[in-house]
Chain A
Amino acid sequence: MAYMALTEAVYYILISLLQPMHGYGIMQNVEELSKGRVKLAAGTLYGALNTLLERGWIMELPTTYNTRKKEYLITDFGKRALELEYARLQELVANGKMFVEGDK
């Protein structure tokens, strides 16, 4: 896979979808995880979810009577993308530690 950095929105959506969640749940979860810093807007989330579905990184769960709202879940393919992104972020942090903190 040609590797490109994920957007912050996509990264947090993938993390959220390690467990089944509907759209509004993702918005709340991301806000909570980022301590209020990242507020996903509904239209942005919708676009990102559709792109992720097309790519096969997440899937829609069948709706049942008690879950009218559509729920989504990460796929193995999505997990792989998330792991790659996590590794990339670790590299960024490690270099930050060395060069930014090391200067102090």
Chain B
Amino acid sequence: MKKRTEVKTFTIWNLEKEEKWLNQMESEGWHLVDVYNKDTYKFEECEPGKYVIRLELLEKSINKPESEKYIDFIEDTGASYISNRGNIVYFTGLAEKKFELFSDNTSRINYYSRIIKILRWLVLGCWLNTINPLLWFLRNLIFFKMEDEIAWLFLPIAIIWLVLSVRVSVGLSKLTRKRKALKEEQNLFE
């Protein structure tokens, strides 16, 4: 059986994009069999479009009993657990059975809220990491006229964190907008 590995990085706000890519691979006849090292996906050749991949960010850490219980439950419904990447888990089920993890807006909104909650902490952390070296740099610039040359180092550090902060913030706002759209739909349906 032919095998293939791909190395790709997906961020936590791009889980949908990741799932789409994995299902694109399935439709081309590459079935996901393992995910490891945080960014390596292993595939095996199979009948194109036979399986669907669904991934999900777990509520609790992967080693917690709640997570084990959840994975067991999903497997009992006929799907299979493939692997995990941190707290992201990968399931596969038959395409003909239209395997899905969520079937209504209430549960989809809950799921988005789970990711948004984590992202908010991440955004906060990133901005604090941006402001901190920036303040050190400004302090040296304004009060000590850059006497201490090492202070120049704070500037690139601040810039790197700034870029990161902006990216995470954009990711967060994307997800928040998606959740809002679902909530608006919920006012009418279900």
Q: Which residues of chain A are within 8 angstroms of B79 by Cβ–Cβ distance?
A: 42
Nearest CB in chain A: distance from B97 CB, A: 9
* A69→B41 CA distance, assembly (Å): 31
Interfacial residues, chain A to chain B (CB-CB below 8 A): 7-9, 22-24, 27, 38-48, 69-70
* A39→B42 CA distance, assembly (Å): 31
Q: Count of B residues near A, CB < 8 Å? A: 19
Contact status A42-B74, CB under 8 Å:
yes
| B88-103 interface (Cβ within 8 A of A) | 98, 100-103
Tell whether B56 is near chain A: CB-to-CB under 8 Å: yes
Contact status B104-A8, CB under 8 Å:
yes
Nearest CB in chain A: distance from B56 CB, A: 7
Contact residues of A: prevailing secondary structure: helix
Contact status A47-B190, CB under 8 Å:
no
Tell whether B9 is near chain A: CB-to-CB under 8 Å: no
Q: A44 contacts which of B70, B76, B78, B102 (Cβ < 8 Å)?
A: B102
Contact status B76-A47, CB under 8 Å:
no
Contact status A48-B77, CB under 8 Å:
no
* A47→B102 CA distance, assembly (Å): 10
Q: Could you give 21 example pairs across A and B, Cβ below 8 Å?
A: A8-B190, A9-B104, A9-B106, A23-B76, A23-B77, A38-B103, A39-B98, A39-B100, A40-B103, A41-B102, A41-B107, A42-B79, A43-B102, A43-B111, A44-B101, A44-B104, A46-B73, A46-B74, A48-B107, A69-B76, A70-B73
* A77→B76 CA distance, assembly (Å): 27
Nearest CB in chain B: distance from A34 CB, A: 12
Given contacts A41-B100, A42-B73, contact A47 B78 (CB under 8 A): no
Contact status B103-A44, CB under 8 Å:
yes
* A66→B95 CA distance, assembly (Å): 30
Contact status B76-A22, CB under 8 Å:
yes
